[in-house]
Amino acid sequence: MAAVTLVDLTHACSSQHDSCVKERISEFCALTGDGSREPVFFIADPESSVGTGRFPRSSIQEMFIGFINSPRVLCRSSLSAALYSFKQAIDREDISNVKIVTSSRGRGVFQVYQELLFTSAYNFEYSIMFDSLSCECCPLCPCTDSSSQAADAKHELSTFLQRLPALKGDIAVLRSPLISDCFSHGFSTRTGGISYISTLSSLNLFCNPRRKDSRAVVAENLRRLGLQAGFHPQQFNLIKCNHASDVWVMGKPAPDSYDGMVTNQVGVVIAAPGADCMPLLFTDPVAKVIGVAHAGWKGTLMGIAMATVNAMVSEFGSRPADIVCVIGPSVGPCCFTLEQDSAREFHAIHPDCVRHMDSSRPYVDIRLATRILLARGGIKPEHIEDIRIPHQSESTLCTSCRPELFFSHVRDGLNFGTQIGFVWIK
């Protein structure tokens, strides 16, 4: 698998910084012979003279004459900025294996950033090579404890990410006129965030450790959505999906996973993810109760929609006739197929839920199935709505068909992004 080496020129002694940097490079060159066949990056301290007339980047390049690969030097305004540029560079090449050459102290700092800016989709290996050239040779380079390092790194990275420009346009939130003004709600689209990987760009709102969008980037996307929609990320609660039918009643002990969530707490934002699966929003303006559900095809067959309604009824006294349900963007029957055995279960709900039942992979309408099941459970048909784009007559929004607006697992494969539906009681 492709790999890359990152050589740490930061954390060198401050009183003799340039000589320490040159010693580090010389030591690395001596140990690697004619250089690695893999790409090499050097990350330089922004306060050093690397990249200036006194120590130009060409000086570093000259030290690598005869090497197989000429190194790239990253000297940015902060370590956060440099590592973000490094991540962008290796993501462009689809490289996941990273070797970091540093000191013992440097390893501690880089491991903090590894946790914040990368996921377990990347493999890291640390090589301690520069201990004799770091803190010990400079009384002006104090070591800090790990908790302070983590706090400083988190603040620096957050500040850096907040300054990045939005990608793919501004944040757009879809809302339904069916939901009462006593609630705030919305469905996110994919525009206006900072995620840059093509299938995650740009307002990805879920960090999956198997994908390459870090929790720091997702947190910044959520912060930006909150500014647009009017909530603070500390108020935000996202469903822990398991494609099943468990519902968490907020205030009670939370299960390890749940695809539905209900509450009557004012100001608490609850949200459901989707990227073909349906994010469902439930509101009861009479009892002032809300619910959300994540409904994929499995959850639909297991009854997650009515399980959420039943929790609102049993826990907070809602009446089904008072409950409104808005179905968020999801994959449509134009693009979603299942094996015959699974499609047959949707056909049993209603024949109109399946197209081409005799084919090896019939097309399935999970939204229609949800409407039918909710109506059978006592929700008025006029209280059930598919979310739409304002001033457009198109009746449904297929996530797979609208790449400019939505993420889609069906369309994009395993490294897909996530949009959400959210609601809170004012």
pLDDT digits (tens, 9 = 90+) for 305-319: 999 999 999 999 999
Of 88, 90, 127, 79, residue with least CA distance to 107: 127
Q: What is the pLDDT of residue 63?
A: 60
The residue type of 136 is E
- Going along 70-130, which residue ranges are E strands? 72-74, 97-102, 123-128
- Per-residue burial over 41-78, b if 16 or more Cβ lie within 10 Å, else e, is bbbbbbebbbbeeebebebbeeebeebeeebbbbbbee
For residues 276 and 418, what is the distance between their CA atoms, to the nearest angstrom?
9
Distance of alpha carbon 22 from alpha carbon 273, whole angstroms: 50
pLDDT at 31: 64
pLDDT at 176: 96
Q: What is the pLDDT of residues 362-392, one digit of tens each?
A: 999 999 999 999 999 999 999 999 999 887 7
Structure tokens belonging to residue 367: 């939204």
- The whole-number average pLDDT for the span 193-218 is 97
pLDDT of residue 13 exceeding 70: no
pLDDT confidence of 9, banded at 50, 70, 90? confident
DSSP secondary structure letters along 259-328: SEEEE--BT-EEEEEESSSEEEEEEETTTTEEEEEEE-HHHHHHTHHHHHHHHHHHHH---GGG-EEEE-
**Residue-wise pLDDT tens digits, 47-81:** 554 555 444 555 555 666 556 667 888 877 899 99
Q: What is the mean pLDDT of residues 358-365?
A: 97
Short-list 182, 107, 100, 115, CA closest to 143: 107
- pLDDT higher than threshold 70 for residue 34: no
**pLDDT > 70: percent of the chain:** 83
Say if residue 136's pLDDT is above 50. Answer: no
Q: Average the pLDDT over 393-399 and give the result.
A: 77
Contacts of 58 (CB under 8 A, 6+ apart): none
Give me the pLDDT at residue 54, please. Answer: 47
pLDDT of residue 103: 86
The mean pLDDT value of the chain amounts to: 89
Q: How many CB atoms lie within 10 A of CB 253?
A: 6
The string of pLDDT tens digits covering residues 286-307 is 999 999 999 999 999 999 999 9
The closest of 227, 328, 232 to 275, measured between CA atoms, is 328
Centroid of chain to Cα 167: 15
One-letter amino acid for residue 320 of the chain: P
Q: Which two tokens stand for residue 115?
A: 């946790």
Q: Examine the pLDDT at 361 and tell me if it is beyond 60.
A: yes
Q: Is the dihedral of CA 139, 145, 151, 153 positive or negative?
A: positive
Question: Rounded to an integer, what distance in angstroms lies between the CA atom of residue 75 and that of residue 17?
Answer: 14
Residue 189 scores a pLDDT above 60: yes
pTM of the predicted model as reported, rounded to 2 decimal places = 0.91
The reported pLDDT for the residue numbered 71 is 80
Q: Is the pLDDT of residue 137 over 70?
A: no
Sheet of 183-188, strands arranged across:
173-174, 183-188, 419-425, 269-274, 236-238
Average of pLDDT values for 244-253? Answer: 97
What does residue 424 show for φ and ψ, rounded to 5 degrees? -150, 160
Supply the pLDDT for residue 326: 98
Structure tokens at 91: 């993501």
- 323 near 309, Cβ under 8 Å? yes
Q: For residues 123 and 98, is the Cβ–Cβ distance under 8 A?
A: yes
- Please enumerate, as own/partner, the contacts of 243-249 that have beta carbons within 8 Å and a separation of 24 or more: 243/277, 243/294, 243/296, 243/298, 243/299, 244/298, 244/299, 244/302, 244/304, 245/299, 245/302, 245/303, 245/304, 245/307, 246/307, 247/291, 247/293, 247/304, 247/307, 247/308, 247/310, 247/311, 249/311, 249/315
Residue 148 — pLDDT band, cuts 50, 70, 90? confident
Residues 168, 29: Cα–Cα separation, whole Å: 42
Q: Residue 397: its pLDDT value, please?
A: 86
The DSSP bridge partners found for residue 186 are 422
